[in-house]
Amino acid sequence: MFNALAATLNESDEVIIPAPFWVSYPEMVEVCGGKPIPVSCGIESGFKLTPNSLEKAITNKTRWLILNSPSNPTGAVYTKKRIRESC
């Protein structure tokens, strides 16, 4: 993942990271010149990113979404149906 970020991010590009997240994701983004954009995903959403939260986080500088499933540290898993409904 680090190599992919390094090859594709330009200075100030944004990367959306659903939170809670694995601790190294924001640092990888920053080392590659990007700006991590954490989006809170609490217990009320099953620790999953909602379409509404994602839409609010997207800007013209957004280049990546790191979607880790099953999520470490929460264990949340996105089903194929949930991902299709979000598109």
pLDDT tens for residues 9-54? 999 999 999 999 999 999 999 999 999 999 999 999 999 999 999 9
Find the CATH number of the domain harbouring 79. 3.40.640.10
Domain limits at 34? 2-86
Q: Report the alpha-carbon angle 35-37-38, nearest 5.
A: 140
How far apart, in whole angstroms, are the C-alpha atoms of residue 56 and residue 11?
Answer: 22
SS (H, E, C) 2-53: HHHHHHHCCCCCEEEEEECCCCHHHHHHHHCCCEEEEEECCHHHCCCCCHHH
State the pTM of this model. Answer: 0.89
Domain count, the chain: 1
